[in-house]
Amino acid sequence: MSGPGGVGKGTVVDRLLDLDDRLWLSRSWTTRARRPGEPADAYVFVDRDTFMRRVEDHGFLEWTEFPGNGRLYGTPLPDPPAGRDVLLEIELDGAGQVKQRFPDAVLVLIVAPSPEEQEARMRSRGDDEKSIRRRVAVGAEEERRGRAIADHVVVNDQVDRAAAEVAGILSKHRAQPPASPST
């Protein structure tokens, strides 16, 4: 799952995990600082040297420097329990990397109903004005790039509805395994 900052991806993910118990959420690593009030296990919070050592050890499925804040984010090589499907909540560059490595991965792009709504969400969770302005500016471009590579686009107009739509998309994909390359 991907989408521009402030579209409410995290809330949709939380709701989706309640709806679909086959999903297993990957916990990312990041070099950014923990936000006030953010759970300690939201990420594995590490310094840049520790992150780069894991890069050198080929320990990430994907990683990137996020243009919104210049910090590093990465998905450790997933080790889900048997029978579970891995859910990643990551920005677009990383999502593109995952699609390249796993062409049958399903990329759902979450978008905000409007840019005003997106800005208001970032403000309400306490992001600073400078980073809000920067992220809104890159948001439109990110949405455009996202629409070009996404398998599905879901508007987060209402979180329960959006999560239910994503759950429906996943059920359809499970019912129809991807065609083999020769077909």
**Which residues contact ligand 5GP by CB under 6 A?**
5, 9, 28, 32, 62, 64, 66, 73-75, 89-91, 93-94
154 and 111 Cβ atoms separated by less than 8 Å: yes
- Minimum distance from CB of 64 to ligand 5GP (Å)? 4
Q: At which residue do the structure tokens 């508007």 appear?
A: 155
Interatomic CA distance for residues 118 and 110, integer angstroms: 11
Tell me the residue nearest to ligand 5GP as measured from the CB.
Answer: 94
**CA separation for the pair 1, 92 (Å, rounded):** 9
Q: Which is nearer to ligand 5GP, 78 or 113 (CB)?
A: 78
Q: How far is the CB of 143 from ligand 5GP (least distance, A)?
A: 12
Give the Å distances, CA to CA, from 104 to 26, 133, 151, 180. Answer: 18, 35, 10, 10
**Nearest distance in Å: CB 10, ligand 5GP:** 7
Query: Among residues 76 and 164, whose Cβ is nearest to ligand 5GP?
Result: 76
Closest approach of ligand 5GP to the CB of residue 66, in Å: 5
Of 38 and 174, nearer to ligand 5GP (C-beta) is 38
Of 142 and 170, which has the nearer Cβ to ligand 5GP?
Answer: 142
From the CB of 134, what's the least distance to ligand 5GP, in Å? 12
**161 touches 113 (CB < 8 A):** no
Q: Which is nearer to ligand 5GP, 64 or 156 (CB)?
A: 64
Query: Helices marked H in 80-158 — which ranges?
Result: 92-101, 115-124, 129-149
Q: Report residue 50 as tokens.
A: 């520790």
